[in-house]
Amino acid sequence: MDSTGVPHVLEHTVLCGSQKYPCRDPFFKMLNRSLSTFMNAFTASDYTLYPFSTQNPKDFQNLLSVYLDATFFPCLRELDFWQEGWRLEHENPSDPQTALTFKGVVFNEMKGAFADNERVFSQHLQNLLLPDHTYAVVSGGDPLCIPDLTWKQLRHFHATHYHPSNARFFTYGSFPLEQHLKQIHEEALSKFQKIEPNTAVPPQKPWDKPREFQITCAPDSLAADSSKQTTVSVSFLLPDITDTFEAFTLNLLSSLLIGGPNSPFYKALIESGLGTDFSPDVGYNGHTREAYFSVGLQGMADKDVQTVRDIIDRTLEDVIAKGFEGDRIEALLHKIEIQMKHQSVSFGLALTSYIASCWNHDGDPVELLQLGRHVAQFRQCLKENPKFLQEKVKQYFKNNQHKLTLSMTPDDQYSEKQTQMETEKLKRKVSSLSLEDKQQIYQKGLELQTQQSEAHDASCLPALKVSDIERSIPFTELAVVPAAGDVPVQYCAQPTNGVVYFRAFCSLHSLPPELGPYVPLFCSVLTKLGCGSLDYRQQAQQIELKTGGMSAAPHVLPDNSQLDTYEQGVLCSSFCLDRNLPDMMHLWADIFNSPCFEEEEHFRVLVKMAAQELSNGIPDSGHLYASICASRTLTPAGDLQETFSGMEQVRLMKSIAEMTDITPVLKKLPRIQKYLLNCENMRCSVNATPQQISQTERVVGEFLRSLGQRRVEQEPEPPQVVQKPAPTGLGSSTHSSGSQVLRKLITDPTFRPCQMKTHFLFPFPVNYVGESVRTAPYTDPDHASLKILASLMTAKFLHTEIREKGGAYGGGAKISHNGIFTFYSYRDPRSTETLQAFAEAVDWARSGRFSQQDIDEAKLSVFSHVDAPVAPSSKGMDHFLYGLSDELKQAHREQLFAVHRQGLMDVSDRYLGIGRSPHGLALLGPENMKVANDPSWILR
């Protein structure tokens, strides 16, 4: 066992061609030959999962066939291993005079993964707490060890692990099971003999005394204060996850210890002011054979490490002495009840992930799913022994010698040291090569380049046809009813399983511009500071006892027919069991009428947590930040989007978190509330079962009437606001009782789009690249052509250039509802070369170097997104938020079907050609000489 990442590289390589489907890269090709709603593969610490889903029975058989053949009978060609895993190759593969360097998709993926300090910490935590077996290594691959993996080792790992005797099969859904079993038997099981796989993970030997370790990481480049960047956590090894009731109990216990502002560790650690947020991987982790619990702080001073350790010990002693309030336990059991009823579109996938670890260690997956039984047993244990949970804390935390204290401090030289180690590794590899080896590497590089550039025959793969796509969409019944005077409320009756979903959209069209940047902060604290007569702890308790959660989020919603018109507002969302609806609406009434903005200490705590979360998220979402920034000067909404959810918001939050006096910021919140939380600018929506609708109408009406008195002085609408009713399409899906959903759209007649190039400097070993272009709005037929074009470019050109040749983990093109067309790349070793690949993609499209088959495949790929399943809780949301009626969606659908070759060439020339339409560029990543020497780039 080692950290070469063999299971992860294998996960990539098996999907590159198999006996029955020997073409190159069947996995990525099937994305365009199927109507799949999900296709992927994941490598965990001790298993690899290959999930897919679709709503079409023929498609299910096709995908099952491809997945079975890929996993059990892959080709595992050496060149595919080179491309996906790692290889030595000349910087320019065509020129043997250029330097040799490491390349490979997994190699760059893992470099990007470990640019995230939270990932570095979590990885070390698992390796050090479970040091005896497979958990001591990095299953995904350590970038410094990946280049030690050989093609022979890869094939050996497949031969010893990928056998039906070592596999588990899981299906979920409404297609008949007999058919799946027959196909799995015929295409895989019948071709093997049963063996005894030697893959069991032995139990970890418990320690006789606690251990301590220190590690280092890169500093946070957005933090002003470098002295407060230490992370520390204390972790305990727990029992085997196959004991399902014990695992259930410890998971609940973990939530009681760390969940929300009423939990003992939140009070003791988060509110101590010593750090910004809990340490990574906090709470119960049941993904390894023996579970573990971890708790600690990040964003703290190194000198406070011992203090934090003392607080953790003291808090556990307190819990053993005092136990937990009955209401907190009830709130948690209520959460389980509502989670069991709430339906998500990825329910099947969530179940798979939920049972995978336990089943992998021969636990009983059916027993694991019997949550109702576990809850009953848990209640019984508490009844028989009121100290049941306190005894667990004593047994597993206080008296547990298998305890790890891990601390991580920033090292200013960290990134340089990583680069240095990689350089030395490369030097050692290169110096051991003979002339013949070097010649072979050059030849192999050319061979790989040729293979990547060739047109591939994918005719061996099964495929759906465009004629398999439904021509029309099922219409959704909606009713729009005015309440409390003239607030439009949209009702959508759906099989919601006894759960009511409520949303309120509050328009921000009259908000003074200087308050705009603080709206996301307002949203993140609105339901967390207390309201009415409840302080923030009591409010959190009520929200947990009575709802499935209450939240608010800023939205910038484009107009469907105009690029320079948009709506801005805040969406408040919540859901509850129908018996709790009056309580939930009473909470909203208190939040709207009397939110508490006086809790300065708790406000500071929330600000620090939000800022920490934002900056921790950058390595995972770099391509999104690049895309938002690239489009900020292309439409009036672009700048607002950057303010609400771009790098500008991250920087603002970091600066607020570091203020000594936070009062001026807190004082802005009541001002935002005045403009936002009133009936004047509001519309609501409810999704519930038909039986619940009349009760819901009554309760929502009462809520709205309670707000009625708080109107802002009636000011005339600013000149740039346009009122636009959502189309209801007479006599069809939306029958409105004389009321309409009115959208208050903002337009800026003086706006002129312009070009901007921005480079955000980060000490990452990889880049995130975005290029955005202003194109056509949703209702324009060109938008449909651009949507098909984005899919076509991604599958037939950009995937090859950016991922296969360039070695980036991901890349492609997409068009958003707002008419912005975006090229992007993710965890990319290149930057300016990728921008060049974007330009070449446009030339490729303009000259029509694609076939009718390519267009049909792009249509399949687009329709798999357009027709993705929608949960009962979200039906009608397109109409409520975007004013998209079923008629508009059907018209867009017909435009998609009608897209043709000439139209694709025309839109790529008209919008994407050089000098045709305003472009914006953005780059997140390390220093870059080409960019630094080009005065047209702004460095941030």
d(C-alpha 252, C-alpha 259), whole Å: 10
- What is the rounded (10 degree) CA torsion for 821, 823, 827, 831? -140
In this structure, the number of other CB atoms found within 10 A of the CB of residue 193 comes to 7
Structure tokens at 324: 């937990």
Q: Are 594 and 585 in contact (CB under 8 A)?
A: no
d(C-alpha 819, C-alpha 881), whole Å: 17
Helix 693-707 to helix 581-593 angle (10° resolution) is 20
470 is catalytic: no
In this structure, the number of other CB atoms found within 10 A of the CB of residue 138 comes to 24
Full 3-state SS string of 796-855: HHHHHHHHHHCCCCEEEEEECCCCEEEEEEEEECCCHHHHHHHHHHHHHHHCCCCCHHHH
Phi, psi of 487 (to 5 degrees): -85, 120
Structure tokens at 518: 């603080």
Full 3-state SS string of 462-529: CCCCHHHCCCCCCCCCEEEEEECCCEEEEEEECCCCCEEEEEEEEECCCCCHHHHHHHHHHHHHHCCC
424 is catalytic: no
d(C-alpha 336, C-alpha 340), whole Å: 6
Phi, psi of 856 (to 5 degrees): -60, -40
CA-nearest of 804, 850, 843 to 25 is 804
User: b/e per residue, 435-459, with b = 16+ CB within 10 A?
Assistant: eeeeeebbebbeebeebbeeeeebe
In this structure, the number of other CB atoms found within 10 A of the CB of residue 483 comes to 19
d(C-alpha 338, C-alpha 335), whole Å: 5
d(C-alpha 319, C-alpha 293), whole Å: 16
In this structure, the number of other CB atoms found within 10 A of the CB of residue 620 comes to 16
d(C-alpha 476, C-alpha 729), whole Å: 12
Structure tokens at 835: 């921008």
Question: CA 293, 296, 302, 307 torsion: positive or negative?
Answer: negative
Q: Which residues, at least 6 apart from 474, have a Cβ–Cβ distance to it below 8 Å?
A: none
User: b/e per residue, 720-755, with b = 16+ CB within 10 A?
Assistant: eebebebbbbeeebbebeebbbbbbbbeeeebebee
DSSP assignment of 304-353 equals GHHHHHHHHHHHHHHHHHH---HHHHHHHHHHHHHHHH---TTHHHHHHH
d(C-alpha 480, C-alpha 462), whole Å: 45
d(C-alpha 225, C-alpha 608), whole Å: 13
d(C-alpha 819, C-alpha 20), whole Å: 41
Full 3-state SS string of 55-119: CCHHHHHHHHHHHHHHHHCECCCHHHHHHHCCEEEECCCCCCCCCEEEECHHHHHHHHHCCCHHH
- Residue tagged active-site, from 78, 84, 186, 416: 84
Residues designated catalytic: 11, 84
